[in-house]
Amino acid sequence: MEKEMVFEPIRNSYLPYGRQWIDNNDIEAVVEILKGDYLTTGPYVSTFEQAVAQYVGAKYAVAFSNGTAALHGACFAAGIGEGDEVITTSMTFAASANCILYQGGIPVFVDIDEKTYNIDPNKIEEKITDKTKAIIPVDFTGQPVELDRILEIAKKYNLVVIEDAAHALGATYKGKKVGSISDMTMFSFHPVKHITSGEGGIITTNNEEYYEKLLQFRSHGITREKEKLNEYHGPWYYEMQFLGYNYRMTDIQAALGTSQLKKIDKFIELRRKYVEIYNEAFKDIEEIIAPFQHKDGESSWHLYIIRLKLDQLTASRREIFEALQQQNIGVNVHYIPVYFQPYYQQLGYKKGICPNAEKLYEEMITLPLFPAMSEKDVNDVINAVKRTIDYYKKVKA
């Protein structure tokens, strides 16, 4: 049976929640690689790494085939192993916790701050044990976590901070670019992120030891550097010194990423412009809560999430979500708490351990936000939200 159409489409075409912006310069950069000598890992990977490191103000950057692989590499470099506990948030994509499992570690989920939706630093210390090895905070939606507090805790307990900044390229914390502050920071270049390389990820760090480990880890644990070899048979010789992975980025990806990075400031400027329009439009709507901005961080706005005051509405979150989709507005939900997933349930995680994250999950909707949107697109979203809220809001006595 077909679902009843409550609303007619507000626009003719479907507007996704996120989408890449590819121009002729990007296409030409990729074509140049296709015509050249290197398709897989070649000189352009190094060019891209240097460009990202320079942009965020880090000494080193190591590119990977995707962001999840980059997080796995960071966990390896941090020395996370069998039985080690790693603190992270449940309000994130599964990769932030999966990377811990890949190394035999144990994810320990800490609840979020009710305003920022980031991991709550006040709740971290109570979860630290003698098995805790690292903290993986996530810059949710592009808003930096409270890095000073987290780094202070990490220093106190001798923990490594691996910042999952998949959402936060271009964000700043107390005037410093995210990517230059934590022990290691991961950025993602999936097509919905700030810039894209098709698929891709990178770790930035100021630590040379981590840098060397990351380079070797992404290429099977193999090295050709003569000074690192246990033996030397000749100029062809290489050694696999530990079990690494084939997580290398291609020159095709790197060329696209390098071209995209030249437009990052423009992309972020447009994201922030559209956020201001959203904020102005929603500020007087009692039934929704617009995103909160922490005074110490400047978000780069990967996602724009509204929170529904369901007690003031006659509909569930699902009904409002589906009503917006009926109007050709490509809303989404970010994220389902990681430990809700069947695999994590099988590992013994129970619902109820992060009540703030679970409540947020029940009430939030992600609205479209990406640079290639037009102001008309933004206004279509606003009109659809207002139309939907007006239809479902409770009439006050």
Examine the pLDDT at 172 and tell me if it is beyond 90. yes
Sheet of 364-367, strands arranged across: 288-289, 304-308, 364-367
d(CA 12, CA 32) in angstroms, rounded, equals 37
Examine the pLDDT at 394 and tell me if it is beyond 70. yes
The whole-number pLDDT of residue 396 equals 66
Q: What is the pLDDT of residues 305-334, one digit of tens each?
A: 999 999 999 999 999 999 999 999 999 999
d(CA 96, CA 89) in angstroms, rounded, equals 8
The whole-number pLDDT of residue 196 equals 98
Fold (CATH) for 264-392: Aspartate Aminotransferase, domain 1 (3.90.1150)
The whole-number pLDDT of residue 1 equals 39
Length of the chain: 397
pLDDT band (50, 70, 90) for residue 300: very high
The full set of domain ranges for the chain reads 24-261, 264-392
pLDDT band (50, 70, 90) for residue 41: confident
Closest CA to 252 of 30, 50, 20, 28: 30
Examine the pLDDT at 274 and tell me if it is beyond 60. yes
Confirm if 204 and 63 have CB atoms less than 8 A apart. Answer: no
Say if domain 24-261 classifies as CATH 3.40.640.10. Answer: yes
Q: What average pLDDT does range 255-267 have in this prediction?
A: 98
Q: What is the pLDDT of residues 233-259, one digit of tens each?
A: 999 999 999 999 999 999 999 999 999
Q: What average pLDDT does range 271-293 have in this prediction?
A: 97
Per-residue tokens: 76: 């390896």
**Chain CA centroid to CA 244, Å:** 24
Examine the pLDDT at 115 and tell me if it is beyond 70. yes
Per-residue tokens: 283: 């500020």
Mean pLDDT of the chain: 96
Q: What is the pLDDT of residues 140-158, one digit of tens each?
A: 999 999 999 999 999 999 9
Sign of CA dihedral 269, 270, 275, 277: positive
Per-residue tokens: 337: 């708490």
The whole-number pLDDT of residue 107 equals 98
Question: Residue 297, CB half-sphere, CA atoms under 13 Å: how many?
Answer: 24
In the DSSP assignment, the letter for residue 4 is P
The whole-number pLDDT of residue 128 equals 98
d(CA 224, CA 237) in angstroms, rounded, equals 7
Examine the pLDDT at 30 and tell me if it is beyond 90. yes
Residue 273, Cβ density class (10 Å: 0-12 exposed, 13-18 middle, ≥19 buried): middle
The whole-number pLDDT of residue 5 equals 67
**Chain CA centroid to CA 389, Å:** 29
d(CA 186, CA 154) in angstroms, rounded, equals 18
